[in-house]
Amino acid sequence: MSLLRKINSNAKASIDTGFGENASSYGGRFLNKDGVANVHKTGLGLLERYSWFHSMLAISRTGFFIVILLFYILVNIAFTVLYYLVGVEHLSGLGKTNSGLELFIETFFFSSQTFTTVGYGRISPVGFATSAIAAFQALIGLLSFAVATGLMYGRFSKPTAYLKFSHNAVIAPYKNIKALMFRVAPFKNTTLTDAETKVTLGLTMDENGKTVNRFFPLELELEKVNALTLSWTIVHPITENSPMYDFTEADYKNIRGEIIVFIKAFDDMFSNTVVARSSYTFAEVVYGAKFLPMYHKSDTNNSTTLELGKLNLFESISLPS
């Protein structure tokens, strides 16, 4: 049976997904696991295609501090070279040494003191050219630290949905039928309210001899919850109205499909709406499994323990025919 015939006639494709219909022009998944669109842009220069501000806010904490450190080192090396070109003899108080390396290191440290406007006073510029370079470097330093401070504040104040998705989705028993399920859980000490999710099934299929992408909104057991404090298992019952109604275990292995997930919630810490995205290709859907419980009452019976390490745990189980 062809994929087109397997799609229930009651399932209506959506045309407002933002993804293209021409499957022959599409490569790989629609969304990466981290929720970023799987699109590589070309045709413009690197500086035009990327916003350095957004990039600095989006990179990891380790990457951010590495960039700051490299910028600091490279700028000071550049100014050290400028002082050398003018002549280090115009730096009063520079230690008398025959070692070129020690001379370079002392000049580098003078550059870093000027860049940070610390100025210990042991070494000072003499002459117009050296003083002009030092004055310009101090200005660059002030502006650089202002930008770095702004980026630090932006990273700390940026509304972020601290949500983790299960690595796999499962096809599990549900009220005498089958259902698509995946899990999401908050992992920071934040309070998320009015959480809402939308799930779309993307399929690559042949229509009239042409390979196209078709997208189907999936009806959910619950689309909204008042508070997201524990794990949330999002369930799409595979009823007769589901586009996945006639799918077999082999179909999940052979069909090119992807489940695209959007979640938004209100975070009272940021007093703002936060958004999280992810997706599951059919290769990441486990047929005949159910998630293991991941929260339970504490040993003292006065609180609930949410075990985030169990977010991805599931067990095999037989499905209703």
Q: At CB < 8 A and 24+ separation, what contacts does 125-134 make?
A: 125/90, 125/91, 125/92, 126/90, 126/91, 126/92, 127/86, 127/90, 129/86, 129/90, 130/83, 130/86, 130/87, 130/90, 130/91, 133/79, 133/82, 133/83, 133/86
Please give the pLDDT value at position 277: 94
256-293 per-residue burial string, b: 16 or more CB within 10 A, e: under 16? bbbbbbbbbbbbeeeeeebebbbbbbbebbbbbbbbee
> Of 147, 146, 150, 75, which is closest to residue 114 (Cα–Cα)?
75
Q: How far is 1 from 23, CA to CA, in rounded Å?
A: 21
> Model pTM greater than 0.85?
no
313, 292 contact by CB (below 8 A): yes
Bridge-partner residues for 315, per DSSP? Answer: 290
C-alpha angle 217/221/223, rounded to 5°? Answer: 65
Count of helices and strands (H, E) across the chain: 7, 16
Residue recorded with tokens 């700390």: 156
Q: Where are the domains of the chain?
A: 3-33+167-316, 48-157
C-alpha angle 243/245/246, rounded to 5°? Answer: 110
Cα–chain center distance at 70:
23
Q: Which tokens hold the place of 20? A: 């293209």
Q: Please report, in tens digits, the pLDDT of each residue of the chain (321 residues total).
A: 556 556 655 566 665 667 777 766 777 788 888 888 877 877 777 777 778 888 888 888 899 999 999 999 999 999 999 998 998 888 888 766 667 788 888 899 999 999 998 888 888 889 899 999 999 999 999 999 999 999 999 888 888 889 999 999 999 999 989 999 999 999 988 889 999 999 999 988 877 778 888 899 999 999 999 999 999 999 999 998 899 988 889 989 988 899 999 999 999 888 899 999 999 999 999 999 999 999 988 888 898 999 999 999 999 998 876
Q: How far is 68 from 61, CA to CA, in rounded Å?
A: 11
Please give the pLDDT value at position 17: 67
Q: Which tokens hold the place of 198? A: 């939308």
Please give the pLDDT value at position 8: 59
Give 3-state DSSP helix, strand, coil % of the chain, rounded to 5: 35, 30, 35
Please give the pLDDT value at position 5: 57
Residue recorded with tokens 């419980």: 293
Question: Considering the domain 48-157 in this protein, what is its CATH number?
Answer: 1.10.287.70
Give the domain 3-33+167-316 fold: Immunoglobulin-like (2.60.40)
Q: How far is 245 from 223, CA to CA, in rounded Å?
A: 20
Query: Torsion angle, CA of 192/196/199/200, rounded to 10 degrees?
Result: -120
